[in-house]
Amino acid sequence: MTEEEEKRIHRYEKRQKRRRRELMKRLVCLVGVILLAAAVIGGISYSVSKAKKNQAREAAAKAKQEAVLKKEKEEKEAEIKKQKEEEKRAADNTLTPGVPVGSDTASTEKTVYLTFDDGPSQNTQPILDILDQYNAKATFFVTGINQDYGDLIKTAYDKGHTIGLHTFSHSYQQLYASTDAYFDDLNQIGEYVKQKIGFVPCFIRFPGGSSNTVSASYSQGIMTTLSQAVQEKGYQYYDWNASSGDATGSNVPKDTIVAEGTSCEYTNIVMLLHDAIGKETTVEALPAIIEHYQSLGYAFKALDRQSFDAHHGIWN
């Protein structure tokens, strides 16, 4: 091999080496670029998915917060609505001279207005429990006789029953002595009830009903006078068109009360019952009376301003 040839080969090898190095450099560069690109893409996609996850988490948290706020708002609105309804009920039940109360015609809806006189007593709570059990509302014409049980007036009112005024003393001799004597007694029971539920109700029931003739022994014509006078003062009196028969004595047999208490066929039934001492059999008879009328499609309601007042004829 000539020197010239050796030099050529040497130069050739050198070139080749350079090329390989160049190639290697490029390769390394390319791999570097690919790796960098992968890292960048990976990084971006990681950031994107992280951002997406954050967004989803934030959206979920926001939705949860909104749901909580919505529920709170609904609860508050329901509470305000209930409060307004209660205020309306109290206003409707309050003695307001000049605003009429009661209706002399029955409605067309099959309704039983159970009315309990002469309580509260130890028999009132069991009656409230039975009414709850049958989801029935009723009316209590209360007295001031048995004040140990006076707080049941509020219990009954809070359960949605109507409170009416019967008499403070339930002494015919005392309250039918004169018009003034009657109103003294009525004001007394009105104030007593106001202490319990915050207002004087406009619903009343005369002891013995407006048709009683016992009052004639104490004051001639007093029922004629009172039946007008109470309405002029903003009250309405409620008599009854059905009796449970429990007024005829203490603890009338349960079966007698059930038989009489289920015999009425009016569309609007205003039934006389008692929740005083000695009326334990009324408590026992009550479920059968309620079941009878519920099976016939009657609703059990508390008296309100629009209810049928079931006035009797007046004989004194």
Binding site for Zn ion (CB under 5 A): 117-118, 207
Q: Minimum CB separation from Zn ion for residue 206, in Å? A: 9
Q: How many CB atoms lie within 10 A of CB 12?
A: 10
- Cβ closest to Zn ion, residue 260 vs residue 298: 260
Closest CA to 147 of 116, 169, 164, 174: 169
- Cβ closest to Zn ion, residue 211 vs residue 294: 211
CB-based contact 234:101 (threshold 8 Å):
yes
Q: Minimum CB separation from Zn ion for residue 73, in Å? A: 48
Q: What is the DSSP secondary structure assignment for residue 111, as one 8-state letter?
A: E
- Cβ closest to Zn ion, residue 207 vs residue 261: 207
Residue nearest to Zn ion (CB): 117
CB within 8 Å of 303: residues ≥ 6 apart: 113, 115, 139, 162, 164, 203, 238, 270
- Cβ closest to Zn ion, residue 111 vs residue 212: 212
For the chain, how are helix, strand and coil distributed in percent, rounded to 5? 55, 10, 30
What's the CA gap between 269 and 258, in Å, rounded? 15
- Cβ closest to Zn ion, residue 118 vs residue 239: 118
CB-based contact 267:113 (threshold 8 Å):
no
Q: Minimum CB separation from Zn ion for residue 87, in Å? A: 31
Q: Minimum CB separation from Zn ion for residue 214, in Å? A: 11
> What tokens does 233 get?
């003062």
**Beta strands 268-274 and 236-237, pairing class:** unpaired
Q: Minimum CB separation from Zn ion for residue 77, in Å? A: 43
Q: Minimum CB separation from Zn ion for residue 297, in Å? A: 30
What's the CA gap between 228 and 28, in Å, rounded? 114
- Cβ closest to Zn ion, residue 102 vs residue 207: 207
